[in-house]
DNA sequence: GAAAAGATTACCT
DNA sequence: GGTAATCTTTTCC
């Protein structure tokens, strides 16, 4: 979850589209809410890959992207601030992936080697980081593993206050 | 092979 | 604030 905080303010670029991350969630080993909780499966195999591997999964009719930090642990990219002149709304995991053009086909991509998908350092440091419970899950709901840039308009609702 | 659950989103009350 | 849409993966018989 150290990485989840460090990613706030970082830039993610996919092809010619880029966003500045303003909201993330950490999923760690032994976390009942994590897809890795019950061991490796066909879907989450990339989440056990090397750090920097992209874990993309489909839920309902939407896809969400994670960045693997350690084997079995990953950071969910929840929202970003559009860079450039994008008339889009990357506020929310599904929307963010749609904006970046990420698909299930990008699952398992190594961000440190792939040229299309890349991570950049922070443009500017978040003024204040808000921490709160994660959203949308049914297990371990109370764990404060959600991180967002305080006051940023692109943070998805409900906005963490602490 | 069939049923249930899910890290979502949008729309209705 | 609550529920439906919608569909893939997982899990159980």
User: Tens-of-pLDDT digits for all 162 residues of chain A?
Assistant: 889 999 999 999 999 899 999 999 999 999 999 999 988 998 999 999 999 999 999 999 899 999 999 999 999 999 999 998 778 899 999 999 999 999 999 999 999 999 999 999 888 889 899 999 999 998 898 899 999 999 999 999 788 865
Tell me the CA–C1' distance in angstroms for A159 and C3. Answer: 22
How many whole angstroms separate alpha carbon A78 and alpha carbon A55? 13
Nearest nt (C1') from A38 Cα: C10
Model pLDDT, residue A162? 53
Tell me the CA–C1' distance in angstroms for A45 and C12. Answer: 22
Q: Which domains are delineated in chain A?
A: 2-149 (3.10.300.10)
* pTM of structure: 0.94
Partners of A157 in beta bridges = none
A46 contact to strand B (CB, 7 A limit):
no
Burial class (CB in 10 A: 0-12, 13-18, 19+), A122: middle
- Name the residues contacting strand C (CB < 7 Å): A 38, 41-44, 58-61
| Bases in strand C with any atom closer than 7 Å to a protein CB | 5-11
Helices (H), chain A: 2-7, 93-100
A80 contact to strand B (CB, 7 A limit):
no
A43 contact to strand B (CB, 7 A limit):
no
Per the omega criterion (within 30 degrees of 0), is the bond before A158 cis? yes
In the numeric block, which tokens belong to residue A154? 């692109």
Identify the CA nearest to A40 among candidates A71, A11, A10. Answer: A71
Tell me the CA–C1' distance in angstroms for A11 and B12. Answer: 37
Model pLDDT, residue A55? 96
């Amino acid at each position: 979850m150290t990485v989840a905080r460090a990613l706030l303010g970082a830039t993610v670029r996919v092809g010619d589209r880029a966003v500045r991350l303003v909201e993330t969630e950490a999923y760690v080993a032994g976390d009942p809410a994590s897809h890795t909780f019950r061991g490796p499966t066909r879907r989450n195999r990339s989440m056990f890959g090397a750090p920097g591997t992209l874990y993309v999964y489909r839920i309902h009719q939407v896809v969400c992207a994670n960045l693997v930090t350690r084997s079995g642990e990953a950071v969910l990219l929840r929202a970003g601030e559009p860079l450039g002149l994008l008339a889009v709304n990357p506020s929310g995991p599904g929307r963010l992936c749609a904006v970046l053009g990420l698909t299930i086909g990008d699952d398992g991509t190594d961000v440190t080697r792939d040229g299309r998908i890349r991570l950049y350092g922070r443009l500017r440091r978040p003024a204040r980081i808000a921490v709160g419970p994660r959203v949308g899950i049914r297990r371990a709901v109370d764990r404060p593993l959600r991180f967002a840039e305080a006051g940023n308009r692109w943070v998805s609702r409900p906005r963490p206050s602490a």
